Chains A and B, each alone.
Chain A
Amino acid sequence: MTQLVNTNINGDTIGFACEADETLLDALRNRVGLKGVKEGCGTGDCGACSVILDGTLVCSCLVLGMEVEGRKVETVEGLSKGAELHTLQTKFIEHAALQCGICTPGFLMAAKALLKNNPDPTEEEIRYALAGNLCRCTGYDKIVRAVQATATELREA
């Protein structure tokens, strides 16, 4: 049963057709064309598909597309303002906090959700907040440094 889902994605009102058993991850990638949302495990363990749904960080592989009717979805594509990168993105580049890059969109969204609720996190808080995101290139340390640097810069801004 295909149904039209009306929602708001990265500030834009968007409608997409969706099957009842289709995940938000598949809908975002295949119906809306937002390929920044990555599928790692598909079981909520790796966090590569992380998006922010009505202000809450979720794995889009564990959300049905139909659930987002009338909701607000934020993906990595909404981070930058045109050509101007978000501070998190700049800091990830400066700190070389990525290797293959497949986990990066998920880490960016998880870090964004963390800093919104906690602008001055300790290293331990950062590591706990990012525990739902796996990096197969094992680059965690640089990711933590990038998030710390972002927090500092955003607090000073």
Chain B
Amino acid sequence: MRYEAPLTTPEAVELLASSRGRVHILAGGTDLIVRMKGGFIEPDVVIDIKRIKDMHVIRKTAAGTSIGAATSCGVMGRHQALKKAWPGVVEAANLIGSDQVQGRCTMTGNLCNASPAADSVPALIAADAQVLIIGPKGERRLPVEKLATGPGKTSLKKGELVAAIELPPRKTRSADAYLRFTPRTEMDIAVVSAAVNLTIDRKNIITAARVALGAVATTAIRVPAAEKALIGNTLDEATLAAVAKACSAACKPINDKRGTVEYRTRVAGVLAKRAAQAAWTRAGGKA
């Protein structure tokens, strides 16, 4: 195996395009190195992107907020402006692993690892985030929900890497929230998770909403029917019941030791309701 640590993004893209064999990008390494050591992958080349300064930057842009691909989730949790604008995205990122893992793991890695139970992904889908992809043919942008195509699979083409995650500008009276269910409080993988991002007007009517679920399908999924149930309504019992029903109906989970199909389907609705309530309260909503 060869280890490369380029100093610029063009160098990384060039290395990625020109390297033969199995090439992997290393950011936090909390998934990659585990898979290497477990013998699941045998890279010929590992390209460490952490020496690239741009990859660590969280900055405001004309299009919103850009989070560099090598930004650790721990750094996000200490970024007050980001926490204030996107509390749901940051709480999702901060639920991944221990302090040791937080110091290394990245949301971009979480996205590209393409686990259906990835914590930050439903929050990013609800936030309407997109990824900035750089490859041999230049830059392109993709909504986050189009990146993972199945467990461990992404739509990235050969030679492409994700350089940043971009969040849209934050409107007033808007907020997001993320909740997951795990048997333990820490160091666990989501059995079910839900993220809600909404905007309300002065009359407490929801004017925009995005809802996403994790660990109930082969990828994290957006739930348009739950969004429809929110938009145009206030957050009353009827609205919450409709959100829960739509979310449960959207589930296509697996049965495994962490949860049955029936359990995951029911809990998805419950978590979506609670996430909607949390986002509503954060946005300043009053019943």
Residues of chain A at the chain B interface (Cβ within 8 Å): 1, 3, 19-21, 23, 42-45, 47, 50, 53, 56-59, 61-64, 66-67, 69, 110, 113-114, 128-129, 131-133
Contacts and interface: CB of A to CB of B under 8 A. Distances in A.
A57 B97 CA distance: 13
B48 interface: yes
A44 B186 contact: no
Given A42-B37, A43-B34, A57 B3 contact: no
SS of A interface (majority) = mixed
Nearest to B38: A43
B287 to A, nearest CB: 31
A16 to B, nearest CB: 14
Given A56-B74, A66-B5, A67-B48, A21 B36 contact: yes
Interface residues of B, number: 28
B36 to A, nearest CB: 6
B253 to A, nearest CB: 24
Given A45-B187, A64-B26, A132-B187, A59 B100 contact: yes
Contacts of A129: 99
Interface in B80-134: 97-101, 103-104
B33 A132 contact: no
B232 interface: no
B186 A57 contact: no
Contacts, number: 88
A64 B33 contact: yes
A128 B187 CA distance: 10
A128 B34 contact: no
Contacts of B38: 43
Contact of A59 (B3, B48, B50, B101): B101
Nearest to A106: B100
A20 B3 contact: yes
B46 A20 contact: yes
Contacts of A61: 33, 37
Given A43-B37, A44-B98, 10 more contacts: A1-B1, A44-B100, A56-B72, A57-B103, A62-B104, A63-B29, A66-B5, A67-B48, A132-B99, A132-B101
B103 A44 contact: no
